[in-house]
Amino acid sequence: MSSILRIALQKSGRLSEDSYQLFKECGIRFDYGTGKLKSVSSNFPAEFLFLRDDDIPGYVEDGVADLGIVGENVAVESTHQVETVHRLGFSKCRLSLAIPRGTDWNGIQDLDGKSIATSYPRILGDYLTYHNVSAEIHQISGSVEIAPGIGLAEAICDIVSSGSTLLSNGLKEVEVIFRSEAILIARTTLDAEKQRLLDKLLFRIKAVQAAKNNKYIVLNAPNEALEQITSLLPGMKSPSVMPLATAGWSSVHSVINENDFWENIEAIRSAGAEGILVIPIEKMIY
């Protein structure tokens, strides 16, 4: 029987849409939604299982699923042995300590002897131990932000994204203890055939991510500025340079990274480039 990868995704929540979108961009089609628990892809040897995110590391460790997508916060907090295969760059957030807005903050030692409510006792416990702080950890599974208001704890340690939940509960963020994003996790032992399928999937994921991080750029340059402009646009191997119908001018085609995009564009313009077009890339394969 030929092998099939079983991939666990969050059924419905902050990871779901981006996870589904990622597979779509990788050209892997499957149905989801309307209460489905699983779905087989119509064009890739994969079966998708739709689960609560907290259950995914356990299912991956047990071999019910071969792969899964979870927040790194969930993977690190769980005691299950799984391998982090790839960082996916979405659902970014941070796990932070927060205290009532009116309270002074001089540093982590302020929490010595205090009580802290959290759903992340392991990550918090390790952080406190590392900083030699002894505090009482109250493990609660939800609505952590109300704990100080109802007298359950003096501080909280919870996931923060925009910060508006903390704000509306009269709390202030005082220390980021962990930064998280969605990750692809795998069972620690995959047979050769499943590993081959995982490599195939990773190849596609990397092409999709590279495309998102880069843009295709086309510009016109006076020939005397070509050397300087092409050195600013190394592209994937080297830029393409073609003569324009206007004598003394060339067209340069290359790829430019999103991270230093604006600085590079300014340098290219001051070197003499004109008529710059920047075009999104759909897939990028090195």
Position 121 contacts ligand PRT (CB under 6 A): no
Kindly report the number of other CB atoms within 10 A of residue 215's CB atom. Answer: 18
Could you tell me the smallest distance in angstroms from the CB atom of residue 83 to ligand PRT?
Answer: 18
Tokens read off for 210: 């590279």
Which residue in 200, 173, 41, 9 sits closest to 95, CA to CA? 173
Distance CA(191)–CA(4), nearest Å, equals 11
For residues 137 to 176, the per-residue mask of contacts with ligand PRT, x marking binding by CB under 6 A and - elsewhere, is ---------------------xxxxxxxx-----------
| CB closer to ligand PRT, 159 vs 205 | 159
Q: Which residue has the tokens 């042995």?
A: 81
The contact pattern for Zn ion, residues 39-78, with x = CB under 5 A and - = no contact, is --------------xx------------------------
Give the residue, chosen from 19, 118, 180, 230, that forms a contact with ligand PRT under the rule CB under 6 A.
Answer: 180
Using the minimum distance from each CB to Zn ion, give the nearer residue, 16 or 169.
16
Q: Which one of Zn ion, ligand PRT, none is in contact with 14 (Cβ closer than 5 to 8 A by kind)?
A: ligand PRT
Tell me which residue has its CB nearest to Zn ion: 54
- 96 closest CA partner among 180, 168, 183: 180
Question: Smallest distance, Å, CB 108 to Zn ion?
Answer: 27
Cα gap 36→245, rounded to integer Å: 58
Q: Is residue 257 involved in binding ligand PRT (CB under 6 A)?
A: no
Q: Report CA-CA distances (Å) from 6 to 67, 175, 197, 204, 221.
A: 6, 38, 11, 17, 51
Binders in 59-98 for ligand PRT, by CB under 6 A: 71, 73-74, 91, 93
The answer to whether the CB of 184 falls within 8 A of the CB of 81 is no
* Residues between 153 and 212 with contacts to Zn ion, criterion CB under 5 A: none
Q: Of 68 and 239, which has the nearer Cβ to ligand PRT?
A: 68
Quick one: what does residue 63 bind among ligand PRT, Zn ion, none, with the CB cut-off 5 to 8 Å set by partner type?
none
- CB of residue 64 to ligand PRT, shortest distance in Å: 16
Pick from 205, 182, 186, 181: which is nearest to 68 by CA? 186
DSSP 61-114: HHTS-SEEEEEHHHHHHS----EEEEE---S-EEEEEEEETTS----GGGGTT-
* Ramachandran quadrant class, 71 (left: phi over 0; alpha: psi -120 to 50; beta: rest): beta
Decide whether 180 or 214 has the Cβ nearer to ligand PRT.
Answer: 180
Q: Does 53 bind ligand PRT (CB under 6 A)?
A: yes
Distance CA 220, CA 217 (A): 10
Count of residues that interact with Zn ion, criterion CB under 5 A: 2
Q: Give the residue nearest to ligand PRT (CB).
A: 71
Q: Please, which residue, 91 or 254, has the CB nearer to ligand PRT?
A: 91
Is the separation of the CB atoms in 20 and 9 below 8 Å? yes
Q: Interface with ligand PRT by CB under 6 A: which residues?
A: 10, 13-15, 52-54, 71, 73-74, 91, 93, 158-165, 180
Q: Interface with Zn ion by CB under 5 A: which residues?
A: 53-54
